[in-house]
């Protein structure tokens, strides 16, 4: 079969899965996750950086919502469209490295991955990261083959955009250097200007974010160091349990059967190394996997921190098993699709079997109840229009700001030690004499009330979600702010 015979089926499958996932979002009746509401807030005030992430995700949401409004699907749309685009970039990479058939199965494996199935329901920084990683690898191979300046500079530009999406993109550079250094026929590029100018271009694209961090005392870098426990802030010693959890997360992210096939392929790494294409993929899988595994062993690592390894994995598994283990490959993709469908319809299954959804068995509980909670606060904001809306934490502020669009809002941060973007960019300093509408999870706030001339509990808002789970806040009117 020629290349065109695979493009149509892959396009059809990607389109069906994307439309289906859009339908699932509406069918589940969920609200935004906290990070989505948080990123939406960023998109309303575009900048070169934010407390925990570079700016690409905010820019994508700003573009989508400018075209389609601030609804649920419009905010999630960038990820919903980027994942199919990544599948086609993988197809192109598979065609270049192996064959259209391998490219097709790479794209299909990617679209069926539990990681993509889960992330496909909400907008995240992993979507542009994975696309940029795939395109950068494709352009790197093209540059190494033909040596054209355009390919090198395009590769550098994509790496730069990837860095502006998520700093994990930086792991691409040592793998690229290793790939060139290991190939005697390619080592001459280390003495040529093209790759180094590509790196300089990537840094130039990142430089506005670096400048933003410099002018804000490097909050993104501090945040990254803190969550990875770099610098001794976390518990010292070895954490084999966390390493086990991380490895298990990688297996589940790729899929029960595909994960086993990937493990077998990596176990055969010595034999696969002799093939140039296999070696390329191993270079872009193993170093990052080992690095984040070491991080998990010595501190902490979230399951998606090594997500770019699945770009290589989606190619390596079909390339290795299409001939000798095709049935297992087909079964692996099928299991992934079935598992994601069951996860999407778990609330329907629970209802059909008479199983009540609870805080323990509802995987979507974190995205439920927020709209109704904000609507419960809305009357107080309307009654006290001159007040500044302040939420107890990032989660509350994000959802209240998204739903209510208050004229003024701020985080409560008397210590001036920010732990999120609201605390970094908003303050009550200079707002002495103003009234505050404070939304708290606690029924009493004596320490905060002491900073005001008077305080009054206006109401309690309760939103039942499940029989054992509800959202509950207390709304206070704090009068005449006296300063921190």
pLDDT tens-digit map of 469-478: 999 999 999 9
For the stretch 53-65, pLDDT in tens is 999 999 999 999 9
Cα-based distances in Å from 125 to 116, 149, 223, 432, 453: 12, 29, 16, 38, 43
| pLDDT attached to residue 300 | 78
Between 309-324 and 256-267, two packed helices, what is the crossing angle to 10 degrees?
90
- Chain centroid to CA 364: 17
Asked if residue 142 lies in contact with residue 151, where contact means CB atoms within 8 angstroms, the answer is yes
What does the pLDDT read at residue 421?
Answer: 96
Which pLDDT belongs to residue 116?
97
Q: Which of 386, 439, 396, 394 lies closest to 420 in space, CA to CA?
A: 394
Q: Closest by alpha carbon to 166, among 260, 79, 53?
A: 53
pTM: 0.94
CB 129 within 8 A of CB 169: yes
| CB-count exposure of residue 354 (10 Å: 0-12, 13-18, 19+) | exposed
Contact 463, 472 (CB under 8 A): yes
Taking the domains of the chain in order of start, what are their residue ranges?
A: 4-347, 369-481
Q: By three-state DSSP, how is residue 158 classified?
A: helix
- Per-residue pLDDT 10s for the chain (484 aa) are 666 789 999 999 999 999 999 999 999 999 999 999 999 999 999 999 999 999 999 999 999 999 999 999 999 999 999 999 999 999 999 999 999 999 999 999 999 999 999 999 999 999 999 999 999 999 999 999 998 999 999 999 999 999 999 999 999 999 999 999 999 999 999 999 999 999 999 999 999 999 999 999 999 988 887 776 654 444 557 878 889 999 999 999 999 999 999 999 999 988 999 999 999 999 999 999 999 999 898 877 888 999 999 999 999 999 999 988 899 999 999 999 999 999 999 999 999 999 999 999 999 999 999 999 999 999 999 999 999 999 999 999 999 999 999 999 999 999 889 999 999 999 999 999 999 999 999 999 999 999 999 999 999 999 999 999 999 999 999 999 999 9
Contact predicate 311/262, CB 8 Å? no
Q: Yes or no: say if 84 and 15 are a contact pair by the CB < 8 Å rule.
A: yes
Do residues 223 and 51 make contact, with C-beta atoms less than 8 angstroms apart? yes
Residue 86 to residue 296: CA distance in whole angstroms: 27
pLDDT at 224: 80
Q: Look at residue 365 in the predicted model and tell me its pLDDT.
A: 96
Cβ 253 vs Cβ 113: under 8 Å: yes
Residue 1: predicted pLDDT: 62
**Is the Cβ–Cβ distance between 291 and 110 less than 8 Å?**
no
| Per-residue pLDDT at 235 | 53
Identify the burial level of 58 via C-beta atoms within 10 angstroms of its C-beta, where 0-12 means exposed, 13-18 middle and 19 or more buried: buried
């Amino acid at each position: 079969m020629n290349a065109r015979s695979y493009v149509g089926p892959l396009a059809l499958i990607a389109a069906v899965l994307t439309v289906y996932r859009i339908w699932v979002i509406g069918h589940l009746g969920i609200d935004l996750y906290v990070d989505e509401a948080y990123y939406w807030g960023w998109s309303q005030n575009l900048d070169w950086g934010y407390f925990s992430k570079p700016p690409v995700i905010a820019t994508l949401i700003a573009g989508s919502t400018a075209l389609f409004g601030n609804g649920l699907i419009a905010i999630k749309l960038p990820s919903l469209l980027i994942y199919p685009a990544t599948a086609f970039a993988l197809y192109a990479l598979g065609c270049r490295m192996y064959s259209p058939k391998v490219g097709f199965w790479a794209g299909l494996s990617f679209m069926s991955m539990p990681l993509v199935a889960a992330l496909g329901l909400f907008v995240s920084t992993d979507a542009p990261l994975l696309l940029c990683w795939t395109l950068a690898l494709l352009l790197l191979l093209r540059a190494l083959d033909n040596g054209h300046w355009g390919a090198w500079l395009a590769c550098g530009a994509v790496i730069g955009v990837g860095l502006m999406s998520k700093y994990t993109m930086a792991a691409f550079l040592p793998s690229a250097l290793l790939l060139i250094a290991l190939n005697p026929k390619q080592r001459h590029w280390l003495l040529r200007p093209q790759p180094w100018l590509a790196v300089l271009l990537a840094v130039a694209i990142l430089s506005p974010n670096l400048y933003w961090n410099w002018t804000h005392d490097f909050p993104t870098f501090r945040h990254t160091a803190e969550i990875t426990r770099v610098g001794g802030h976390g518990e010292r010693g070895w954490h084999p349990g966390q390493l086990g959890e991380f490895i298990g997360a990688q297996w589940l992210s790729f899929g029960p059967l595909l994960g086993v096939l990937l493990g077998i392929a990596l176990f055969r790494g010595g034999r696969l190394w002799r093939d140039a294409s296999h070696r390329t993929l191993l270079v872009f899988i193993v170093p990052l996997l080992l690095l984040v595994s070491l991080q998990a062993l010595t501190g902490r690592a979230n399951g998606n921190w090594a997500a770019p390894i699945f770009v290589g994995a989606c190619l390596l598994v079909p390339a290795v098993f299409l001939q000798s283990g095709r049935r297992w490959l087909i079964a692996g993709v099928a299991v992934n699709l079935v598992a994601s469908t069951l996860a999407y319809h778990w609330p329907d299954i629970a209802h059909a079997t008479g199983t009540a959804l609870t805080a323990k068995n509802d995987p979507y509980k974190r995205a439920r109840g927020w709209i109704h909670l904000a609507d419960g606060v809305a009357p107080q904001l309307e009654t006290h229009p001159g007040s500044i809306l302040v939420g107890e934490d990032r989660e509350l502020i994000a959802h209240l700001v998204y739903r209510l669009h208050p004229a003024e809002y701020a985080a409560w941060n008397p210590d001036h030690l920010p732990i999120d973007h609201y605390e970094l960019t908003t303050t009550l300093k200079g707002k002495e004499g103003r009234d505050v509408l404070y939304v708290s999870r606690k029924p009493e706030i004596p320490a905060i009330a002491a900073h005001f001339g008077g305080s009054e509990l206006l109401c309690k808002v309760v939103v039942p979600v499940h029989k054992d789970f509800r959202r509950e806040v207390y709304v206070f009117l704090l009068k005449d702010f006296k300063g921190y």
